[in-house]
Amino acid sequence: MGNSSRKYSSRVVDGPTRAPARAMLRATGFTDGDFHKPQVGIASTWSNLTPCNMHINGLAEEAARGADGAGGKSVIFNTITISDGIANGTEGMKYSLVSREIIADSIEAVAGCEGFDGLVAIGGCDKNMPGCLIGLARLNRPAVFVYGGTITPGDNHTDIISVFEAVGSHAKGDMTAIEVKRIEETAIPGPGSCGGMYTANTMASAIEVMGMSLPGSSAQNATSDTKLRDCRQAGEAVLRLLKHNIRPSDIMTRPAFENAITLVIALGGSTNAVLHLLAMAHAVGVELSLDDFTRLGKRVPVLADLRPSGHYMMSELVAIGGILPLMKTLLDAGLLQGDCLTVTGKTLAENLAGVNPYPPGQNIIRPLANPIKPDSHLRILYGNLAPGGAVAKITGKEGLSFTGPARVFDSEEETLARILDGSVQKGDVVVIRYEGPKGGPGMREMLSPTSAIMGRGLGKGVALITDGRFSGGSHGFVVGHITPEARQGGPLAIVEDGDVITIDAEHNRLELDLTDSVITGRLARWQPPEPRYRRGVLAKYARAVGPASQGAVTDAQEDGN
């Protein structure tokens, strides 16, 4: 392919002075001919610690075969993964968002060191995907992202959220320990990412419509021939991108991010998409803010009846055509920008030209004329309790406003215990603070408390607000990402039991019913708690991380933000 496709690898392996490098690579299987081929790094997030990623090694090998068959030389390397589903509700969950940065850093470090000309990144669990995209954006070398695929449902249409909510049902007395164990044993039948429109499927869909995955990649079952073909074609696609020098910065443009926001809303996707899209935009130098979600949300309806707020699972959407027909519907309605370039080398509109509509009679995706909600379920709230903004996930099923007395807790564990023992009552606004990016540190997901609320039958009777965040599986009247966070002296730090809080998703307000002078007086007396960690990765993260309203990135100092 010539040196134009070997911009980086040629510096590593060409010429007499690079003989030591070639000697090392020969031991890994390189031949004379391989040194003249573009090198394609295959970033695998394989790990046997979670079903989301347990099959990805095989997918990486398939992507490598595709790259090799198209004239490249593939090199598979690994990066880490953690499991939110395993760690949720424990101190270990503080490492979850941290892992997004580690994944991005490791992909950047390996590719930058080894001189890969192009990349395929394969992710399965929540943080894998934005972590991979942030790494690819920083490197800005021809690249394709591949989603590991969705899991199939467990017995009786169950999934991981069914297990979390069973814990709350057991605490209420509606389910026996034996019934909980039966769900535990059957809800996760094999490989693949959690089955609803939770964070993994949300981010995979966003990345596809953004143009960084091949068409169809986000809506495929993890263990399918379709997914294997997707991986092989991704390896081939990188060679075409190298030939035409198409890089992530050519694809991940502001219009592409607006397309991602639009599709996330239409799918009823996770609040984590706000955090991750802001961070991905930062990595590629695109201006994106919380207010863009509000602006686009005024005209984009929720159309997908998918879990957690809806009924169906991703595998059932896969069976009727995935997200491509939905994308075509949105494009035809003028809600997507079709001139955005994608990893196929074609525009989004060109990719969707031959897509057929959903089969008649399906109930998973509503028509535009009959939406589940006429505007976005992702609400960006401001007010005296969130001067820098907060992110709410309000579908309307629990109502559009909530006012009640605060029940204040300084950790997730304390909150969960009080929900399970019945201390939290109907009408309460549960406040969980000191769980933000710096305060946690790590901005834990509040899946255990929200699931316990649902399991106890309080989904319409209790609201929950936090400077932490939520799993894509959380539902109910929930508000997260409150900025400034409590650890930084945000108003959340001075809320007391009994203070009246109002969440208004119609006017996008989050208000504490106290006068400005009372709030100012309490803040003057407030003292920040001691840091929870003084050494190690969590301490380092707490020092470096920025606010949730800007994506909780760790390299903002580079551009002065």
Under a CB-based contact definition with an 8 Å cutoff, are residues 468 and 435 in contact? yes
Cis peptide leading into residue 484 (ω within 30°): yes
DSSP 357: P
Q: How far apart are CA 409 and CA 282, in angstroms?
A: 32
Q: How far apart are CA 492 and CA 483, in angstroms?
A: 9
Residue 354's Cβ-count burial label (10 Å; 0-12, 13-18, 19+) is exposed
Signed CA dihedral, 396, 400, 403, 408: sign only: positive
Q: How far apart are CA 456 and CA 310, in angstroms?
A: 19
The residue among 547, 437, 430 whose CA lies nearest residue 483 is 547
Q: Does the annotation flag 127 for ligand binding?
A: yes
> Of the listed 96, 218, 411, 471, which one is catalytic?
471
Strands 39-44 and 118-123: parallel
The residue among 208, 241, 411 whose CA lies nearest residue 318 is 208
Q: Does the annotation flag 126 for ligand binding?
A: yes
Q: How far apart are CA 475 and CA 306, in angstroms?
A: 12
Q: Does the annotation flag 113 for ligand binding?
A: no
Q: What are the residues whose beta carbons fall under 8 Å from the beta carbon of 64, sequence distance 6 or more?
A: 40, 42, 74, 76, 235
Helices (H), 389-468: 412-420, 447-455
| Total residues belonging to the chain | 561
The residue among 6, 249, 2 whose CA lies nearest residue 118 is 6
Residue 107's Cβ-count burial label (10 Å; 0-12, 13-18, 19+) is buried
Q: Does the annotation flag 445 for ligand binding?
A: yes
Q: Does the annotation flag 34 for ligand binding?
A: no
Other beta carbons within 10 angstroms of residue 15's beta carbon come to 10
**Amino acid (one-letter) located at 232:** R
List the Cα angle 400/403/406 in 5-degree steps. 130
Q: Is 47 an active-site residue?
A: no
- Please provide residue 550's backbone torsions phi and psi, each rounded to the nearest 5 degrees: -115, 15
Half-sphere CA count of 374, side-chain side, radius 13 A: 2
Q: How far apart are CA 460 and CA 477, in angstroms?
A: 7
Strands 500-504 and 509-512: antiparallel
Which residues sit in the known binding site for [2Fe-2S] cluster? 52
What are the catalytic residues? 471
In the annotated binding site, the residues are 52, 84, 126-127, 445
Binding residues for Mg(2+): 84, 126-127, 445
